[in-house]
Chains A and B, each alone.
Chain A
Amino acid sequence: MQRLIKNGEIIDETWHLLDKDATLDGLSNSDDLIVPLGLWLEHAHALKARDGGLGVWLDSDEQVEAIAEDLQYFQVVALNFPVFSDGRSYSNARLLRDRYQYPGEVRAIGDVLRDQLFFMRRCGFDAFALRADRNPEEALESFNDFSNTYQSATDQPLPLFRRRA
């Protein structure tokens, strides 16, 4: 079973992440599902009527503005990193948290690697589906890579210059 880093701990994954081209056909009614943005936009009504938990995932070239009005329906918003060097999901995460005040889980999916976790967390991610071939226990160490930060971000709204003794 895939494991997830959430709030600094390793937990078992209970959600199902649907492929980008998934359709409504054969969708379980009771499973917790993270659906692709396209499916949500087309079938929001049907998806809302299910009993199971609902999340949505956005690819790096999709904009959070597309779900800004719908956030109350999602327990999870997952943002994809097709490759770790594609940094667009950092901005999407910050907008979700800072602009749209999304309170649920913001999950990093895709090419999620230890050396990016510190920055991801700063941008508002609180759950990390580390790439399957990586060891999540070791990755936890990276949250302590830096003891302080210069800029404001989602995790610390005050820049260092407003905190400097």
Chain B
Amino acid sequence: MYIYDEYDQQLVEDRVKQFRGQTQRYLAGELSENEFLPLRLQNGLYVQRYAPMLRVAIPYGHISAKQMRKLAFIARQYDKGYAHFSTRQNVQFNWPALEDVPDILAHLAEVQMHAIQTSGNCIRNTTTDQFAGVAADELVDPRPWCEIIRQWSTFHPEFAFLPRKFKIAVNGAEHDRAAIGVHDIGLNVIKNEAGDIGFRVLVGGGLGRTPIVGSQICDFLPWQHLLTYLDAILRVYNRYGRRDNKYKARIKILVKALTPAVFAEKVNAEWAHTKDNETTLTEQEVQRVAKHFTAPDYQQFSGDDADYLAKRDSEKGFNNWAMRNLQAHKVPGYAAVTLSLKPTAVAPGDATDKQMEAAADLAERYSFAELRVTHQQNLVLADVRQSDLYALWQECKEMGFATPNVGLLTDIICCPGGDFCALANAKSIPIAEAIQRTFDDLDYLHDIGDLDLNISGCMNACGHHHVGHIGVLGVDKKGQEFYQVSLGGNSGRDASIGQILGPSFAADEMPKVVSKVIDVYVENRTPEELFLDTFQRIGMAPFKERVYAAAN
């Protein structure tokens, strides 16, 4: 994990001081609401339905046990005893008082954390694969690149007031767990035939009102040029992106209007001037950063742990959990473990101060004192010995982390929706809960298999509904809360945007609608097909027929 040196530390402390001054000037009436707005946003502070919300960065999802304890402390001291892990590998506090935010930021700075650029029209927290560095299917570790991007983007003076927010995601594995196709810039770290590292660059992906999958504008960017090329993309966007309409201000609209080919030409023309300047990365810098992400002190095992395998055979509950909540590890005898934050009847991604402390404690005892936050709003212990898994599972059960549903229908991604968010058309958390209650038979859930169900309370798409295999969107129908369903979205490799099933539904119809969709899948699937495969083969018609036939 990256450890700050004195420069990094000084910068976050400078920021706390600056924001303390800005908050004081605002409270004293010297800064207007409008002038304070972008300043607080660039420090992650929203003002929403009931109270301010503070969004704290967890850069590319990595967090130490010590930092997790600090979040627990903040939740207890300044909030109502819980925090919300978001789909962008951040954490949000829903009830801090504005006056306390500078103090909260000072507490965070003590453990090398901050809320810089977690909001506002600037370059946001870079996200990546939650299994970076440990996944068996990884080709190149994306984390050093994420940290290099974090430093380059932090207080970038030219790009603090972009037309709109800007998000970069990096993936280095065979599977895309970072959803790079739906980010403003998606970077796929690859090795070419000569073994050199470089990036495949996608640009102009995004969800929101105009969901689009990003277009490739460069098939191999040698690593030295990463930052100058990013500077070129951002400069073209900063100068030419639309500013007259906030719904048309994302880079995706510019790329689409120009066409990806013309956009790429503009970037290359700009880059021709700046390529090879001092921002060109050096071997020394990459090594300096990369040495923070070397493998921990693993024990040597020759293969799978026999006792662990035996326990899986003898205990069904343990086996269910192991099937869903473990990820293959590149080191023999180890596994990456997902701690589920999705038990039924809890807002997805919410964790109490006690749970955060328990997670920190588990990390210290089982996984080199580090954790990851996933964009599915769960936590991960990335380096657990197989021989410890049974004991860990029992502890997880006690703490409510053991819901064996990772990747299943009930592992729902869900935005805060109408319960918390001023922009919502409809509530989203109760819909998630109703669906979780309907699908309470674990064997059936396992039989249905991998299925992403994503819910957003409005078209801002914070819950990523467009890329859910099943997506649910809250809509307003003459002042009533309704829900539009889409099928066939996918955030992985070959990302795709879901298609709308048809007219929207009332809240109480939703569990039934989802059940019918699942029935059509189960009746039509071939033995090897997952939901998405069946949908792609048979298309929308059978689903539509079933759902609306009965509704009439």
Interface positions of A (Cβ within 8 A of B): 63, 84-88, 90-92, 94, 99, 113, 115-116, 118-120, 122-123, 145-153, 157-162, 164
Contact = CB atoms under 8 A, between A and B. Distances in A.
A87 B239 CA distance: 8
Interface centre among A90, A94, A113, A116 (most CB of B within 10 A): A90
Interface string B120-156: 0100000000000000000000000000000110111
B14 interface: yes
A153 B157 contact: yes
A59 to B, nearest CB: 12
A-B CB proximity, top 7 nearest: A87-B161, A122-B157, A119-B157, A161-B285, A150-B151, A90-B158, A146-B14
A14 B160 CA distance: 31
Interface of B: 5, 7, 10-11, 14-15, 17-18, 22, 35, 38-39, 121, 151-152, 154-162, 227, 235, 238-239, 243, 273, 277-279, 281-282, 284-285, 288
Given A85-B161, A122-B157, A148-B7, A91 B38 contact: no
A150 B156 CA distance: 8
A112 to B, nearest CB: 12
A99 B158 CA distance: 15
A94 B7 contact: no
A104 B359 CA distance: 58
B35 A115 contact: yes
Contacts of B35: 84, 113, 115
A86 B162 CA distance: 7
A148 B6 CA distance: 11
A85 B5 CA distance: 32
B162 A87 contact: yes
Given A157-B278, A161-B282, A161-B285, A151 B39 contact: no
A133 to B, nearest CB: 10
B282 A145 contact: no
A153 B156 CA distance: 9
Contacts of B156: 150-151
Contacts of B281: 161
A88 B243 CA distance: 10
A148 B7 CA distance: 7
A115 to B, nearest CB: 6
B279 A91 contact: no
A149 B155 contact: yes
A119 B277 CA distance: 20
Nearest to B244: A61
A99 B273 contact: yes
A147 B11 CA distance: 7
Contact of A153 (B121, B158, B238, B284): B158
B84 to A, nearest CB: 27
A120 B279 CA distance: 19
A98 B2 CA distance: 32
A16 to B, nearest CB: 27
Given A86-B161, A94-B158, A147 B39 contact: no
Nearest to B22: A115
Contacts of B17: 145
Nearest to A87: B161
A4 to B, nearest CB: 21
A151 B14 contact: no
Contacts of B160: 87, 90, 116, 119
Given A87-B161, A87-B238, 12 more contacts: A63-B239, A84-B35, A84-B161, A86-B161, A86-B243, A92-B239, A145-B18, A148-B7, A149-B157, A150-B152, A151-B152, A161-B151
A18 to B, nearest CB: 25
A145 to B, nearest CB: 5
B229 to A, nearest CB: 14
B279 A159 contact: yes
Contact of B155 (A88, A146, A159): A146
Given A85-B121, A87-B162, A91-B238, A152 B14 contact: no
Nearest to A89: B161
Nearest to B159: A87
Contacts of B11: 146-148, 150
Given A119-B157, A122-B157, A151-B156, A145 B14 contact: yes
